[in-house]
Amino acid sequence: MTVDSLDSSGRIDSDDLSIAYIGGGSRQWAPALIRDLALADISGDVRLYDVNVESAERNARFGNWVQRQEEAVAEWHYEATDAIDEALDGADVVILSTQFDPAETFVHDLDIPKEYGIYGAVAATIGPGGIFRAMRTIPLYREFAAAVREHCPDAWVFNYTNPVTFVTRALYDEYPGINALGLCHEVLGTRDRLARYAREELGMDASREDVSVNVKGINHFTWVDEVQCDGVDLWPLLADLADREEARRTFTAEDLDGESVFTDNWQVTWELYRTFGILPAAGDRHLVEYATSFLRGGKETLNRWGVKRTGSDYRAKHWTPAESEQTTDVEAWMNGEREFTLESSNETFMDILAALTGDGPFVTNVNLPNEGQVDDLQRDAVVETNAVVREDDVQPVAAGGFPRPVRSMIRGHIDTQETVIEASRTGDLDHAFRGFRIDQQVRTLPPEASRELFAELVLAEEQYLDGWNLDESRILRESEAYPTE
């Protein structure tokens, strides 16, 4: 069953595709995309735009360098530009992947709430840090949506920027006719894990592609209530696994010493499954920021569930390729300092693109405004479900609703998201604070504390809060943290 389709009135040509990459200086997504494109049955040109022109130029050099590799089968040409209008003009596809300097933003998102007893695990999607990341990003993405409307109104727009729900919602709020998809690989990771269980427990020759799930929710707080692997129902297996000793482990800080912050022990996942009867489909480090009881008690509680906090020191290092698990030094490849292998990123972007150009259908999870695909959540709020992708057409799949307790949690987060989106239409900072105040991490604070936390974050990140009217904010005037004349 599907709901209203999302389709473009333009038809895109797989032999002459025009891609605009906004945030083209990306140190993670752009190098991965460039390698994927080189291995595709699609050709065209990529225009890279970034406020850091040198970074975009570096990726353009890398893209053209990859095209000269013997293994490259597609024909792509890369060019950097310092004008967003030039990048977007006539584009068939637009990719959005941007972020601000973590040392000046994420660090505050993590450290300031910690002083108020909020020990966020990631601070990238929801909670005080996630909300401020959204507030930094939403005004910019309204500008992007307006530019798409002017220069390439029928383009397919792929958003990778977090917080995915806030950002994708802002694109549609600014330009309701946009053909935008919010993409995230958390559900793909869940399918990978379920395929592993099918191999280990049932002896099946299974991969992620063999696993189908009925997924629904909001980004980083998605849930699954049906799982099949090559036609075999895995739900009885999940019930068995959830009661085993390995699904009831406890951890200490020492147990996690030396582990990557991305290590996922699935202990939060199993606990939520046992409690609510449906399976979460995102990493534990993201789930705890929505299911906030796992954050109570700070580091000890978080570690007990096998989750290692993404600290501010890690976020600061993220900006430096040599020190980061998530950024790529393309210069080292081009200079021969590191061995280069042309291989797929295993993301779904190329599968979606291939389906849109006629090589479909393809089914995958996407973030889109709710037109009925999740029947007990607010219409127009951005939700994550499967969608069927065909030539010039995307149709979200109706996924049903939720048990009442899960629905209650999700609705609360949607109320936060929608309140901040409403506030962003006029830049009303006090209205944004209302969304901040009802956030499920913040609302346990006394009113004065939540106001001071909000004001401290504004003060620390003021230079990145373009589009918000700070001068007329009553919350800031009443705060002791924010200096007023």
Q: Report d(CA 53, CA 48) in Å as an integer.
A: 9
Strand partners, 393: 7, 390
Question: Which of these is catalytic: 77, 108, 151, 185?
Answer: 185
Closest alpha carbon to 170 in 120, 86, 91, 96: 96
Angle between helix 447-461 and helix 429-438 axes, rounded to 10 deg: 130
| 73, 39 contact by CB (below 8 A) | yes
Q: Report d(CA 108, CA 99) in Å as an integer.
A: 15
| 164, 184 contact by CB (below 8 A) | yes
Q: Report d(CA 327, CA 444) in Å as an integer.
A: 36
Alpha-carbon distance values, 282 to 74, 135, 270, 289, 344 (Å): 33, 23, 12, 11, 22
Q: Report d(CA 305, CA 316) in Å as an integer.
A: 25
How far from the centroid of its chain's Cα atoms is residue 351's Cα?
18
Closest alpha carbon to 29 in 149, 147, 161, 142: 161
Residue 144: strand, helix, or coil: helix
Alpha-carbon distance values, 377 to 217, 226, 312, 409 (Å): 9, 19, 34, 11
Q: Report d(CA 343, CA 356) in Å as an integer.
A: 22
Measured in degrees and rounded to the nearest 5, phi and psi for residue 223 equal -135, 155
Extract long-range pairs of 268-273: CB within 8 Å, 24+ residues apart: 268/294, 268/305, 268/306, 268/307, 270/241, 270/242, 271/305, 273/238, 273/242
> Is the bond preceding residue 447 a cis peptide, omega within 30 degrees?
no
Alpha-carbon distance values, 109 to 26, 103, 116, 118, 235 (Å): 21, 10, 12, 11, 38
Task: Enter the tokens of residue 280.
Answer: 């979460």
Task: Enter the tokens of residue 92.
Answer: 């068939």
Which residues, other chains included, contact 189 with Cβ-Cβ below 8 Å and sequence gap of 6+?
A: 264, 283
DSSP letter at 161?
A: P
| 185 noted as active-site residue | yes
Name the residues annotated as catalytic: 185
